[in-house]
């Protein structure tokens, strides 16, 4: 028996529940309710996920399992402003996520959550001497560790202002109305970086601390699916650095933000990520002006407060990283095209120099992955198992930190069975080509 299904009678849609049986439900509501809350759980292949409760239209709750981590609870309410706007308060365990979303995105809110992996959590919050609060490692932490996992406190769709003719203030006010009291208290203690008197305090804090998240959505237009901002009460305490030691990603499967280390962190070191794209801003001045413009602060990270001469060297190094990354595959390709007549050692040195520059600068963003992957490819060509495993291991760490689990699994396979790597032994093979000199 399909408990909880809404009945579809021509154009009139009615709820089967006693308290709401005679309540006419608008077409949009039906579509939302049906798709997001009822159909999805029943499609679960795993028998342990069943709809445990489903009651009270308008305050609908769906429990998927007794395990609080594996269950989600969805409350729907029509905003009343527009048929297509719906509020959701999603309970995930004991955490409530207050959201203001376009109804098209409702389908994307998971009714079944993957359990988030257990984070190391080895950090504490305390005052910094020049950046307000910050997070600090309470023990030595290895590279590629899962440091923190957090469910958002709020999610807001950025395009609501455009799509529904609301003012930005309307949207934030409506969202704040839905935030539970305890969350609001924690939210109000966060940093406010907005210029004074530009908006309400709540809005200012949400704007100062929210992070962009992508909710992938094959079924809805990209403009709707992307462009959400989420507030994370703890991750909001992480400061910016131009030499970051962590990256964060929103994982739609577990509906959590995950924070991974990009390099080893010493006990007492501050945990920092980059608020901007460091690859496109190699100089301190460029980074500072971008941060000033976007986030209204002057960067005083370890890299930016170096003496002028050291800053100049750092700028040069970062320019060099940008240059070597521009056509990152060409040295290897040239070697390959030339039937291996050039010295593969030179290709290796090219990438090693780039990696060294990045290590000095404390950078492990995208170009780092390319360089270490190409180093692994060079060592594979030479059938050098130790070199291959070492660089492939570094590339895999980056993949893990970026939640590319399929790629990381492939890489693990290559680490275990190097000879299955596609370019394994290519140095020997191309030298033996009949047309090779
Ligand atoms: C999202 S909050 C980070 C946590 C904040 N320090 C706090 O006390 O809650 C962002 C604010 O922290 C400060 N901040 C973060 N990184 C900084 C940096 N590298 N240099 C100077 N201030 C920084 C700025 O005031 C910025 O507006």
Here the tokens at position 394 are: 């570094």
Answer whether residue 77 shows pLDDT above 80: no
Cα–Cα distance measured from residue 210 to residue 192, given in angstroms and rounded to the nearest whole number: 11
pLDDT class for 315, splitting at 50, 70, 90? very high
Q: Examine the pLDDT at 304 and tell me if it is beyond 50.
A: yes
Give 266 Cα–ligand 1 centroid separation in angstroms: 21
pLDDT at 235: 97
373 φ, ψ (degrees, to nearest 5): -65, -40
Per-residue pLDDT for 111 more than 60? Answer: no
At 29 the pLDDT is 29
Q: How confident is the model at residue 89 (pLDDT cuts 50, 70, 90)?
A: low
Q: What is the DSSP letter of 265?
A: B
Question: Residue 151: helix, strand or coil by DSSP?
Answer: coil
Q: Are 47 and 37 spatial neighbours (Cβ–Cβ below 8 Å)? A: no
Residue 19 to residue 14: CA distance in whole angstroms: 11
The pLDDT of residue 141:
97
Dihedrals phi, psi of 395, to nearest 5 degrees: -65, -40
* Alpha-helical segments (H) within 303-422: 308-326, 330-337, 344-361, 366-381, 385-401, 405-416
DSSP track, 118-141: PP---EEEEE-SSSSEEEEESS-B
Q: Please check the confidence at residue 126 and state whether its pLDDT lies above 90.
A: yes
Query: Strand 12-14's sheet: what is its strand order?
Result: 7-9, 12-14, 24-25
Rounded Cα gap, residues 401 and 150, in angstroms: 15
Residues with Cβ within 6 A of ligand 1? Answer: 131-134, 190-191, 193, 209, 236-237, 239-241, 295, 297, 299-301
**Which has the minimum average pLDDT: 29-43, 158-172, 182-196?**
29-43
Ligand 1 centroid vs 240 CA: distance in angstroms? Answer: 7
pTM of the model: 0.78
CA distance 354 to 368: 8
The answer to which of 157-171, 236-250, 255-269 has the lowest mean pLDDT is: 157-171
Closest CA to 71 of 33, 113, 30, 36: 113
* Closest residue to atom 22 of ligand 1, CA basis: 131
Write down the residue that tokens 């966060």 correspond to.
190
Mean pLDDT confidence for 315-325: 94
In DSSP terms, 250 is beta-bridged to 257
Q: Which residue has the higher pLDDT, 215 or 390?
A: 390
- Closest residue by CA, ligand 1 atom 7: 133
Select the more confidently predicted residue: 40 or 326.
Answer: 326
Testing ligand 1's pocket by substitution, the residue of 128, 130, 131 carrying the most ligand atoms inside 8 A of its CB is 131
Q: Among 80-89, 243-252, 286-295, 390-399, where is mean pLDDT lowest?
A: 80-89
Is the separation of the CB atoms in 80 and 67 below 8 Å? no
Judged against a pLDDT cut of 80, whether residue 188 lies above it is answered with: yes
Q: Is the pLDDT of residue 61 over 60?
A: no
Question: What are 167-186's pLDDT values in tens digits?
Answer: 888 888 888 887 888 889 99
Which pLDDT value is given to residue 116?
67
User: Among residues of the chain, what percentage have pLDDT more than 90?
Assistant: 50
What pLDDT is stored for residue 267 in this prediction?
98
Confidence of residue 20 (pLDDT cuts 50, 70, 90): very low
From the CA atom positions of the chain, what is the Rg in Å? 26
Q: From ligand 1's centre to the CA of 360, what distance in Å?
A: 24
């Amino acid at each position: 028996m399909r408990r909880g299904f809404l009945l579809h009678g021509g154009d009139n849609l009615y709820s089967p529940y006693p308290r709401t049986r005679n309540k006419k439900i608008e077409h949009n509501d039906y579509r939302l309710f049906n798709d997001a809350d009822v159909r999805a759980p029943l499609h679960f292949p795993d028998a342990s996920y069943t709809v445990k409760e489903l009651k009270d239209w308008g305050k609908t709750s769906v429990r998927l399992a007794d395990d609080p981590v594996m269950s989600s609870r969805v409350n729907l309410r029509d905003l009343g402003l527009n048929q297509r706007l719906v509020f959701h308060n999603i309970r995930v365990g004991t955490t409530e996520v207050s959201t203001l979303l376009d109804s098209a995105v409702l389908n994307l809110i998971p009714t079944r959550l993957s359990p988030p992996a257990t984070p190391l959590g080895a950090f504490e919050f305390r005052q910094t001497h020049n950046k307000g609060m910050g997070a600090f490692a309470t023990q030595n932490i290895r590279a590629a560790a899962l440091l923190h996992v957090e469910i958002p406190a709020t999610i807001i769709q950025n395009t609501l202002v455009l799509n529904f003719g609301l003012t930005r203030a309307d949207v934030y006010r409506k969202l704040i109305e839905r935030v539970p009291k305890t969350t609001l208290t924690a939210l109000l203690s966060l940093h406010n970086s907005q210029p004074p008197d530009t908006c309400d305090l709540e809005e200012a804090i949400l704007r100062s601390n929210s992070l962009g998240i992508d909710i992938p959505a094959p079924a809805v237009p990209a403009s709707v699916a992307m462009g959400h901002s989420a507030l994370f009460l703890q991750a909001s305490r992480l400061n910016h650095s131009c030499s970051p030691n962590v990256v964060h990603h929103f994982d739609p499967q577990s509906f959590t933000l995950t924070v991974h280390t990009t390099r080893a962190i010493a006990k007492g070191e501050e945990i920092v990520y980059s608020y901007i794209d460091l690859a496109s801003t190699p100089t301190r001045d460029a980074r500072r002006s971008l941060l000033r413009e976007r986030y209204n602060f002057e960067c005083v990270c370890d890299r930016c407060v170096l003496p002028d001469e050291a800053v100049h060297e750092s700028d040069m190094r970062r320019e060099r990283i940008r240059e070597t990354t521009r056509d990152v595959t060409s040295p290897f390709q040239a070697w390959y095209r030339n039937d291996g007549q050039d010295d593969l050692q030179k290709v290796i040195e090219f990438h090693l120099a780039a990696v060294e520059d990045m290590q000095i600068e404390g950078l492990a963003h995208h170009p780092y992955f390319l360089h270490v992957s190409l180093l692994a490819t060079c060592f594979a060509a030479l059938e050098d198992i130790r070199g291959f495993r070492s660089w492939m291991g570094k590339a895999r760490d980056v993949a893990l930190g970026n939640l590319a689990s399929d790629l990381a699994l492939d890489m693990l396979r290559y680490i275990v069975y190097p000879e299955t790597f596609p370019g394994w032994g290519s140095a020997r093979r191309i030298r033996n080509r009949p047309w090779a000199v």
